[in-house]
Amino acid sequence: MNAKIFELSIILIFTGLSIILIGLILAATRFKAKINGGGIIFIGPIPLIFGLNKGLKGVLILILFMLFLLVLSVQLLLTWS
């Protein structure tokens, strides 16, 4: 892979993430609405789930389970073919 294309792609990824983060911060400070958030991070086989309320954590656990099944099925399909 060309090194310049790789560097440009990394810069574009971080620029996009920065724009999204700035937009979220501006939206949170401009409007006084209740904002819920959460996420899932995979570190190897270990999932980390974080959320601001219990209902959101339940939804994230469901999404985590579906992602796990998707990854497992793709791995099985790749090894069988």
Question: What is the SS3 string spanning the chain?
Answer: CCHHHHHHHHHHHHHHHHHHHHHHHHHHHHCCCCCCCEEEEEECCEEEEEECCHHHHHHHHHHHHHHHHHHHHHHHHHHHC
> pLDDT of 40-67, one tens digit each?
787 877 777 777 777 777 787 888 888 8
pTM, whole model, 2 decimals?
Answer: 0.47
Residue-range domain boundaries for the chain = 1-35, 36-81
Q: Which residues contact 42 (CB under 8 A, 6 or more apart)?
A: 48
> pLDDT of 11-51, one tens digit each?
998 898 899 888 878 877 777 667 677 777 878 777 777 77
